[in-house]
Amino acid sequence: MGCRNSKISSANTTVLGVVQIMIGIYHVLMWYFLLLLYMGQIKGVFGTYEPLTYKMGTSLWGLAFVISGAFTVKAAKHQSKHMLLCTMALNILCIIITIIAASLTIVELAHFRSVSYRNYGQAKLGREVSRVLLCSYPLEFAIALTYSISSCAYLAEKREESLENISEVVEGNS
């Protein structure tokens, strides 16, 4: 496997988990801000502005980042095989969520429907929030990928050690 040479300390893993939790909370708070922003729109001539990412609640997907970060912190303190596998699976899920959310945000920012004059300011502010969230997706992607690679290396190292112990026991019995 190509990930065997990566090592990361438990303190650094804890920091990665805490940063993941902070990013997740930030995304949830931004979704709440967008909820308040778009619910305050006045029905105008062209209707209200409801972007794709708001309708799908992509910022609310930050809850997955919070859960993954909590599992990462827990796995840094208690390194069991099952905990590492669960945390790695959650981080892979976060990678997938990040790619989907970034793609939807790019589609939203690329297509701008005209809205009524009264709601233009809210729509423009909402698009700026989407741009800020788009900047945070690469950070979450990098954190989840870093943890996935390091846990892969740790699990591969532990597997090799257990295989060596089994081969020593078999050779000793022969």
Which ranges of 40-80 would DSSP assign to H, the alpha helix?
52-56, 62-77
Token pair of 12 as six digits: 């650094």
- CB of 81 within 8 A of CB of 154? no
Please state the separation of Cα 15 from the chain's center in Å. 15
Alpha-carbon Rg of the chain, whole angstroms? 22
User: pLDDT 10s per residue in the chain (174 long)?
Assistant: 344 445 677 788 889 899 999 999 999 998 888 888 877 777 765 666 777 777 788 878 889 999 999 999 998 888 788 888 899 999 999 999 999 999 988 988 888 766 666 777 777 888 888 889 889 999 999 999 988 888 887 777 766 665 555 555 556 665
One-letter amino acid of 136: S
Q: What is the pTM of this model?
A: 0.79
